[in-house]
Amino acid sequence: MKLTPHEKKILNLIEKNPEIIDDTKKRAKVAKENELSEKTLRNRIGDLKKYGVISSENMNTLKGSNRNLKTDGSIKEDKLDPLVIINNNRTLIVKVSLITGIIGLIYALFATPYYQSTTSMYPALDTEKSGGILGGSIKGLAESYGLMGLGSAPTYNIPDIVLSRRIKKNIILSKWKSQAFPDSSNLIKFWEIDKPDRFSPYIILDLFRAFLPKAKGYSTSTDKIHLENAIEKLQRQIFVNEEQSGLIVVSVLMEDPFLSANITNYIAAYVKEFISLEQEKEAIKKKEFIFSQMQSAKIDLSDSEFKLTNFLKQNPLGLGNPDLQLQQGRLIREIEENQAVYITLRQQYEIAKIEAEEDKLFINILDEGDVAVRKSKPKRSLIVLSSISLGIMFSLLIVFYRERLYI
C-alpha cells in the first residue's frame, strides 16, 4: 500500500516525536507547530495504526527507523508483523470473543438437560456353543431324520435385541411417570411429538379427524408418523457397547433422570425375559421332537418283534436250515437296533422333560440403572470455551482479511 504525502508527513512527525501517540498535550503542540489540528493528527495516527505501520507498543523499535517504508514511501508487505496486527485489533478480537462466549453461555443455560442411566449385563450361558445336556445328541438325531436346526441352541445378539424396533416401540407406547407427567404418559406425549408445528400440513388432517370416529391405539396415518418420529428420536438416545469380555453396557439418555433409569431397567428386564422365553420355547420344541421320534422308534421295535414272532411260528422245525438261520439272525439284529434307538430316545426324552421344566438363568444383570444425580449434557464449560475459541478464530479471520485489503 502506498502512503500519501500527507501520511508520510505524519509518519515523520511520529518518528521525531513518538510520544505524540499517547500524549495529548504533546500531540496538540506538534500539531500546532505543523499547522495541523490535534484532531486531524490524532485521526491520521489512528489510520497508521490500522495499517499496522505503528503502534504504542512498538514505537521503541520504530523510532529513528524507516524499516517499514520503501524509498517511495510504500509499506513493505513482509514487514507487517502478525503480532502487531493482532495487538492493534485486540479490542475487536476481545469484543467478538465475548459476544460468542455470551451466546454459548445463553445456549448452555437454556438448552434441554439430559440425564444418563447405565446398566450392564452378561450372558450366563454360552448359547452359541451349548444346546443344553442334549445339544450334541439332538443334533445327531435331527440330522439323521433330515430335520436341521433342532440340535443346537439358537444364538442371541444382545445389542441387536436392545436396538430392535420391537423393544423401542414397546418403550414408546408404554406409560412412564416423569416430572412433567406425574400420572404417566407415553413418550410421544412426553416429547410432544403429537403437537404439530404451527405450519405443519398435518393440522388440516387433524381437523378432519376431529369429525371421524376414533379407533383405539395408533392406527391412523398421523399416529404412525408420530410413532416413527419417536422411534427415530429414541434411537439416538440409546447406546450399546459390547466389551471384549462379553459384558454388554446399555446407556439411555433422557430429559428426566427418573425416566432414564426406568427405561434402562426396562431394557435389561426385557432382554432377560426375551431370551428366557425363547430358550423355553426351544426346550419344549426339542422335547416334542424327541417324543415323536420315540413313538416312531417304539412302533418300529414292535414291528420287528412281530416279524420275528411270525417267523418262528412259520418255521418251528426248520431252524437247522442255513438260509432260515441267516434270516432269523437279521430279524434279531433288527430288534436289537430298534431297541437301542428306543432306549436312547427314552432316556433323552426324560432329560428333555427336565430341561423344559428347569428354570435357567441365561442373562445376569450386573448393574442396574440408577437415577442420575447430575445431568450428562449439555457441558456448559465446554460449550462456553468452544464458543470463545470460535469467536477468536472468527475475529482473527476478519482482522487479517481486512489488513490484506490495505496492502
Beta bridge partners of 69: 75
Give the CATH number for residue 342.
3.30.1890
Specify whether 154 is located in the same domain as 97: no
pLDDT score of 23: 81
Statement to judge: residues 252 and 361 lie in one domain:
yes
Structural domain boundaries, residue 244: 115-377
In a domain, 56, yes or no: yes
Q: Are residues 179 and 31 in the same domain?
A: no
**What pLDDT does 195 receive?**
79
CA nearest to 271, candidates 160, 373, 376: 160
Q: Are 260 and 250 in contact (CB under 8 A)?
A: no
Number of separate domains in the chain: 2
Asked whether the predicted pLDDT for residue 118 surpasses 90, the reply is yes
Shared domain check, 342 and 218: yes
Confidence band (pLDDT; 50, 70, 90) for 336? very high
Better pLDDT: 64 or 352: 352
Residue 46 and residue 139 share a domain = no
CA distance 32 to 87: 30
Query: pLDDT above 90 covers what percent of the chain?
Result: 29
Q: Say if residue 70's pLDDT is above 50.
A: no
If pLDDT is split at 50, 70 and 90, which confidence band does 398 have? confident
Backbone phi and psi for residue 75, each to the nearest 5 degrees, phi listed first: -80, 135
Residue 216 in any domain: the answer is: yes
Q: Which range, 28-42, 225-239, 315-329, 342-356, has the best average confidence (pLDDT)?
A: 225-239
Greatest distance between any 2 Cα atoms in the chain: 157
What CA–CA distance (Å, rounded) separates 358 from 356? 6
Determine, yes or no, domain membership for 390.
Answer: no
Among 205-219, 234-248, 256-270, name the one with the lowest average pLDDT.
205-219
Predicted pLDDT of residue 149: 43
CB 11 within 8 A of CB 69: yes
Query: Does 146 share its domain with 268?
Result: yes
| Within-domain flag for 171 | yes
> How many alpha carbons lie under 13 Å from residue 8 in its C-beta half-sphere?
13
State residue 318's pLDDT score. Answer: 61
Q: What pLDDT does residue 299 have?
A: 93
Instruction: Give the HSE-up count for residue 270: Cα atoms under 13 Å, Cβ half-sphere.
Output: 22
For residue 4, which of 58, 59, 44, 54 has the smallest C-alpha distance?
Answer: 44
Task: Report the C-alpha gap between 252 and 114 in whole angstroms.
Answer: 10
What's the mean pLDDT when you consider all of the chain? 79
Residue 391: name the closest of 108, 103, 107, 110 by CA. 103
**Same structural domain for residues 82 and 188?**
no
Our measurement of the distance from residue 338's CA atom to the centroid of its chain's CA atoms, rounded to an integer in Å, reads 58
Residues 24 and 134 in one domain: no
- Does a structural domain hold residue 391? no
Q: Within 10 Å of residue 227's Cβ, how many Cβ atoms?
A: 20
pLDDT higher than 70, residue 205: no
- Residue 31 falls inside a structural domain: yes
Name the 3-class secondary structure at 181: coil
On whether both 47 and 138 belong to a single domain, the answer is: no
Q: Is residue 62 pLDDT above 60, yes or no?
A: no
When computed from its CA atoms, the radius of gyration of the chain, rounded to whole angstroms, is 44
**385 falls within a domain:** no
64 HSE (CA, 13 A, CB side): 2
Is 226 found in the same domain as 90? Answer: no
Answer yes or no: are the C-beta atoms of 132 and 283 closer than 8 Å: yes
User: For position 406, what pLDDT does the model report?
Assistant: 53
Residue 223 corresponds to which cell in the numbers above? 399416529
Residue 235 has pLDDT above 60, yes or no: yes
Write down the pLDDT at residue 197. Answer: 61
Question: Which residues make Cβ contacts (< 8 Å) with residue 227, sequence separation at least 6?
Answer: 169, 172, 173, 188, 218
Q: Tell me if 282 is assigned to some domain.
A: yes
Both 148 and 88 in a single domain? no
Average pLDDT over residues 35-43: 82
For residue 354, what pLDDT is reported?
83
Half-sphere exposure of 324 (CA within 13 A, CB side): 12
Read off the amino acid at residue 220.
T
Helix 257-314 to helix 135-144 angle (10° resolution) is 60
Residues 125 and 90 reside in one and the same domain: no
